[in-house]
């Protein structure tokens, strides 16, 4: 396999929403679920998100564990235009862990490089960064395990391309309805036979939440 092993983490309501209509998402799941995610980050070589999540959530993507993690994962943002604002917590924590922003060929990432991020470019697919090419680039850098934390469009593109090996799904006992933001974006599935299939390998209550693990069938 010429790409890393990819785990997609979802933290959603019962109806699969990662945020309210307003974009509010902290915190859908409880403290125990969030602690498990920190351990997943610590075990990964890289943590990857899309530019929309970087803008909306202003995450650090650091592994906050006790005892502290021996090393921090490479933090990766897919941003086709390389127009991510060079502000916020990703840039404020560059001394703790490196940041790699992957854009599309021809995009100008000079401002991001000046701010301290590393910039790389890969080919486009469907007008955005080719996720398979981005993963191949990470493999060339020695990354073997990637934890993807969203958002919905990135999750959908990875699943549609068959690039997700495992799902770690944390579900909180709330419902947000159709107005909420989906954990997985459009897959353009016309028939059930086209739906990607998964095999559940574990399920565990975590306080009020439910943690389900799936492998690609």
Here the tokens at position 149 are 């934390």
Here the tokens at position 128 are 């955005």
Q: Domain of 38: which CATH number?
A: 3.40.430.10
Beta carbons of 86 and 114 less than 8 angstroms apart = yes
Q: Tell me 29's DSSP state.
A: S
Closest by CA to 112, choosing from 156, 51, 171, 166, is: 51
Domain count, the chain: 1
State the pLDDT confidence band at 155, using cuts at 50, 70 and 90.
Answer: very high
**What span, in angstroms and rounded, lies between the C-alpha atoms of 12 and 69?**
26
Three-state SS at 120: strand
Domain membership of residue 46 (yes or no) is yes
Range of the domain at 166: 5-76+140-216
User: Is 21's pLDDT higher than 80?
Assistant: no
Strand positions, DSSP E, 53-176 = 74-78, 99-104, 118-122, 124-125, 128-129, 145-148, 166-171
For the entire predicted model, the pTM comes to 0.93
Domain membership of residue 55 (yes or no) is yes
Q: Where are the alpha helices (DSSP H) in the chain?
A: 31-43, 51-57, 89-92, 110-114, 131-140, 152-160
**What span, in angstroms and rounded, lies between the C-alpha atoms of 127 and 145?**
26
> Angle at which helices 152-160 and 131-140 pack, to 10 degrees?
80
pLDDT of residue 73: 97
Share of the chain above pLDDT 90, in %: 71
Instruction: Express each pLDDT in 74-126 by its tens digit.
Output: 999 999 999 999 989 999 999 999 999 999 998 999 999 999 999 999 999 88
Share of the chain above pLDDT 70, in %: 100
State the pLDDT confidence band at 189, using cuts at 50, 70 and 90.
Answer: confident
Domain membership of residue 171 (yes or no) is yes
The size of the chain, in residues, is 217
Domain membership of residue 112 (yes or no) is no
């Amino acid at each position: 396999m010429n790409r890393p092993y990819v785990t997609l983490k979802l933290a959603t309501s019962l109806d699969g929403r990662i945020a309210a209509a307003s974009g509010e998402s902290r915190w859908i799941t409880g403290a125990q679920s969030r602690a498990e995610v920190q351990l997943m980050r610590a075990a990964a070589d890289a943590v990857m998100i899309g530019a929309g999540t970087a803008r909306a959530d202003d995450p650090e993507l650091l592994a906050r564990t006790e005892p502290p993690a021996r090393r921090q994962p490479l933090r990766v943002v897919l941003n086709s235009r390389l127009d991510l604002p060079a502000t916020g917590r990703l840039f404020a924590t560059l001394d703790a862990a490196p940041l790699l922003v992957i854009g599309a060929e021809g995009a100008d990432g000079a401002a991001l490089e000046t701010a301290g991020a590393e910039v790389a470019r890969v080919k486009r697919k469907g007008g955005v960064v080719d996720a398979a090419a981005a993963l191949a680039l990470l493999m060339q850098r020695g990354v073997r395990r990637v934890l993807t934390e969203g958002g919905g469009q990135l999750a959908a593109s990875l699943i549609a391309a068959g690039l997700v090996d495992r799902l770690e799904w944390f579900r909180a006992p709330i419902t947000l309805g159709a107005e909420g933001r989906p954990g997985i974006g459009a897959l353009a599935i016309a028939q059930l036979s086209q739906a990607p299939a998964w095999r559940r390998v574990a399920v565990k209550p975590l306080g009020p939440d439910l943690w389900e693990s799936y492998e690609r069938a």
